[in-house]
Amino acid sequence: MILTNIQSVPGKKIVEHFGIVQGSTVRAKHAGRDFMASLKNIIGGELKGYTQLLQEAREEAVERMSEQAKQLGANAVVNIRFGTASIAQGAAELFAYGTAVRVE
């Protein structure tokens, strides 16, 4: 599966379009991480636990999107966009969407 966030795949030709595909995941941080983050908040700086959590969540969203594209018979997803939405206290939704295509 080739993934790009531009309108085409460089060096390849798009032969078929399958429309949009998307994947999303809602993640909550567990209490231990929340506690550590609130301690870290005193001195500021990077919250490694959250960075990792969001990175994993985003990979999961991309994974689901690729799965959907594969079911349609696509071998690439172009023009991918990411988005984040906080839907409730302590939970974040991460989504990825793009256009499924077949390239040669």
Partner 1 sequence: MDILLENMDLIISLGVIMIGYFAGSAAERKHYTSIKKREKETLGFPVVTAEAYFADGRVKESFMVSGSVVISMDYFKRLLGNLRNLFGGRVKAYESLIDRARREAILRMKEEAQMMGGDMITNLRLDTSTLTGSANRRSQIGSVEVIAYGTAVVFNQE
* Residues forming the site for partner 1 (CB under 8 A): 2-7, 9-11, 28-29, 31, 34, 37-38, 40-47, 50-51, 54-55, 58, 62, 80-84, 86, 88-92
H or E, element range at 52 = helix 48-72
- Closest contact distance (angstroms) between CB of 20 and partner 1 is 17
- Determine the angle formed by the axes of helices 31-43 and 48-72, rounding to 10 degrees: 130
Which one, 72 or 91, has the nearer CB to partner 1? 91
CA-to-CA separations, 6 to 37, 56, 97, in angstroms, rounded: 35, 23, 13
- Closest contact distance (angstroms) between CB of 24 and partner 1 is 14
Which one, 17 or 48, has the nearer CB to partner 1? 48
101 residue type, one letter: V
